[in-house]
Structure 1
């Protein structure tokens, strides 16, 4: 009868797992994340890209001012970014946009514009929502652009050297009983 030595078997198993894990990390870094980062940085308007793997994966994109975006439009730029991310990483990736909004523009957005946008979205009054935001922005000397597609409302605000972007999903009501 032969005796099986436990210590060498455990060491070999640990070494094999370490090599597999290291190989997976190298593959992910060189064949998945680096090409994605390079492709995202080539999208017009993208200044920096940060990719954090995890559960879920998270991609943070810092965008430049309006004139740097694809045709000056957040919606087109967002679609280019989202398509690239979903092609490389699949669905379920958290996509964050960052901008140079400044405290004053953030305060005006949260206090004046977001309530109009939320009410318009909830009531389905999209044309009124857009005209109210445009009118208010004109009075406040803010450049505003609101666009929409079947999934999101895209908000672009700029004043001076500061600019703010927001992508607001439409509410999706998931069935259920009401009493």
Structure 2
């Protein structure tokens, strides 16, 4: 039996195109667009862009300065559950921080990291209270749920959002702090 290589090659190329095209279409129309729609409908979200990988879904957000980050996470998790499936949801927030706000955050970072490491989450609120006493122009808001600790620092038009996972990474480093 003699194989004809041209029909075999065409069949292989068409099969690969169909397979990867279907995978791309599912990701685009079954995961990314539904999550973008859910996130954009939440109050405080100015824009949302979804990126997915094999094990996680990353939602890049631009939030208004008065956005409730914990509520945004909760609603995306609940309303986008079908699109997220068994993947991990990761939020990345674009904020409009400034050097003074970053400097203030760096002063509080050690206390926050220690509280997270020892799982004494109430000390985070204490650290934020001390920060607002040291820097009176800064407003600090902290919230927590079963997954993350959320911190919002605000000074005038500048705002910094921080999401700290309650289950730290192997290295104990927070990529967005």
SS for the counterpart of 1:22 is helix
- Structure 1 residue 39: deviation in Å? 1.3
Q: CA RMSD in A?
A: 2.5
Paired position in structure 2 for 1:64: 64
- Are 2:8 and 1:9 equivalent residues in the alignment? yes
The 5-angstrom pairing of residues 152-167 of structure 1 reads 152-167=148-163
The CA distance in 1 between the partners of 2:102 and 2:62, in whole Å, is 16
SS for the counterpart of 1:48 is strand
Q: Is the 8 A contact 2:34 2:80 kept in 1?
A: no
Q: 1:6 to 1:144 in 2, by over 3 A?
A: same
Greater C-alpha radius of gyration = 1
The 5-angstrom pairing of residues 28-177 of structure 1 reads 28-56=27-55, 57-66=57-66, 69=67, 73-90=68-85, 91-109=87-105, 111-140=106-135, 141-171=137-167
The CA distance in 2 between the partners of 1:87 and 1:131, in whole Å, is 38
SS for the counterpart of 1:3 is coil
The CA distance in 1 between the partners of 2:51 and 2:169, in whole Å, is 30
- Structure 1 residue 4: deviation in Å? 2.9
The CA distance in 1 between the partners of 2:123 and 2:89, in whole Å, is 33
Q: 1:8 to 1:135 in 2, by over 3 A?
A: same
Q: How many residues align?
A: 167
The CA distance in 1 between the partners of 2:19 and 2:167, in whole Å, is 42
- Structure 1 residue 166: deviation in Å? 0.7
Q: 1:12 to 1:32 in 2, by over 3 A?
A: same
Q: Is the 8 A contact 1:152 1:168 kept in 2?
A: yes
Q: 1:133 to 1:88 in 2, by over 3 A?
A: same
SS for the counterpart of 2:35 is helix
The CA distance in 1 between the partners of 2:30 and 2:51, in whole Å, is 15
Q: TM-score, normalised by structure 1?
A: 0.78
- Structure 1 residue 161: deviation in Å? 0.3
Unaligned runs of 5+ in 1: 175-179
Q: Is the 8 A contact 1:154 1:166 kept in 2?
A: yes
- Whose helix fraction is larger, Structure 1's or Structure 2's? 1
Q: TM-score, normalised by structure 2?
A: 0.79
